[in-house]
Structure 1
Amino acid sequence: MTIFYGSEFLEHNPKSLENVRKKCNLEKPLAMEQAISILEEWIQKQDHFVKKDFHRGYLERVIISTKGSIEKAKTRVDKLCTMRTNLPHFFEKCNVKRDFPKLHETYISVHMPKMTEDNNRIYIAKVTAKSLTPDVFLEAYQHSVILSEYMKLHDYSQGCHVIADFRDVNIMEMLSQMNIIEFRNVITLYLEGYGFGVKGVYVLSTSKLIHTFLNMVKPFISAKIAERIRVLKDVESLQVYVPKRLLPEEYGGSQKSLLDIYDDWVEELSSEKHVTYTKEMRLARTNEAFRRKDKCQEDYMGMPGTFKILSID
């Protein structure tokens, strides 16, 4: 097992770093370090950024999420900072144990600690109650932000397989309590802000209304991701798409139960180190009064900067 940036919780494959960097064409010695430095230099020149001292591990994950494109990485950093400014209620919480003591009674979400052989991770979101309230939705989004901050600092994966388990929820009640604008915003946050690559989405449900829900979601995502959505009626069908050995025991896998894994995550996300880091990242916002108003804003969504070519001998 290889450990990256001090996290002993997430497991990586022996060659994860080498293989993921190779996918980004940044496997040569010092190539990634130079790419991070270019991104850091650009950040320093952005007058509208409130915070400019980002952890290099975080910036590396941003570059990985853009498959090695520094220009796209600039856009991604700017988008997430802008979202922290425009959607502050998603970022208000920082301590899972203190802020969400009963969330598991209605909703559980985890990244599985072990990776697939091709360096992807499995993410499971399960609704554990028949009905939800707007407050539960908000807590679920806030919890996911804290989890996402952890992943963007510590994980070294190429993407994730998403399992959305709706077997225990009344879909009609869920839809009646869901703010569709907020749901759209949080999807945009995950995909365009944090830049999580989605390899597949597997929706567990026997309700006929699940397709109504998915038809609401599809306009918010790319056609490529929409094509990767599969509706499954049982956990056995999951094993066609993700390795059985990496799933929780109640999903037919060899790992601990979903609740036990969630409890492990609660402890990890509530550590003093991560709570401090989450608080620091809340400062990574924008002050729109200082955003440069030039043509580059039109071309790159407000992200003018110095454009350089990465060159490694």
Structure 2
Amino acid sequence: MSKPQIDMRYADARTQDCITEEQARFFLDNGFLVIKGALQGEELRTVQAEMEKQVAKGVAGVQDDPDYMYGKGGKTGRNVLRRIEYVIDKSDPMKALLGHPFILRSVEKLQGRSFIPTWDSMVLKMPGEGIVVPWHRDAEVPAGCTDPRPIFNVDFYLDPADLATCLWVIPGSNKWSIEACQARIQRDGAERFSTEDAIPVPLEAGDAIFHDITVLHGSPAGDGNPLRRTVYYEFRPGEIEWNYGPHTREYLGLKQQMLLECLDRRAAAPYAQGEEPFVYNPEGDLALGERTKADTFRYPHLAYWRD
């Protein structure tokens, strides 16, 4: 099978206010879009330092905290840190990151004014112990949903990602049927990671990727790989959540208030001074009600899951 040939597109957060129509079309057609320079200068250094604290905590071992997840190291087989959940709750700079104006304007362009933030996590490849991530979709579109707007993750890269650590994608697989995706996943299984129909997406520290939850992606096991930390913020059109879930309608209002609080944190961040802030103005059933104080930034998914 020959390598897919696509005319690569990318956006540049250093020179743009939002993704363009052409870039949006590339994302919708291929299931991913590279964003150059999403994090720069002081913000990049601050976020890197904050997440290094979380890595150190996880490496030291965290007892009875399900937010810190471990797996079998790719080289030694030892138990190594692989994922940390709810990073927004754990760090003020991660709250400010959720208010990133280029990112939110681009999310709004693709999902509409009533989008909400959902998952927030950090996935790691520890030095020399990168764990294979088999081909997968993050999730499927909720059952019964015919809304064509994409559900997607924004992946912020805190470290460079070369061919030993970067994400691989199968362009256009976001348009495949569930059966076609399952057949491709089962062809490799859990251990093999073939890339003949895929392309690598190497990035520099501070770059980001938008990736559709239904695009097939993964990464090989590292062998002598450097540290790779990637922060994932997922966004969903509010109307899809309102009508189809998977979260309850109560969850939507709570996450809206959380986003407003994070926008305030962004406005106060020293590295955000002078930028044009994003204005969150959802509509219809999702229109904002009275502003309330966010008591927490950690809303466990299963506590707000529809039956």
Do they fold alike, i.e. is TM over 0.5? no
Structure richer in helix, relative to its length: 1
Structure richer in strand, relative to its length: 2
TM class, shorter-chain normalised?
Answer: under 0.3
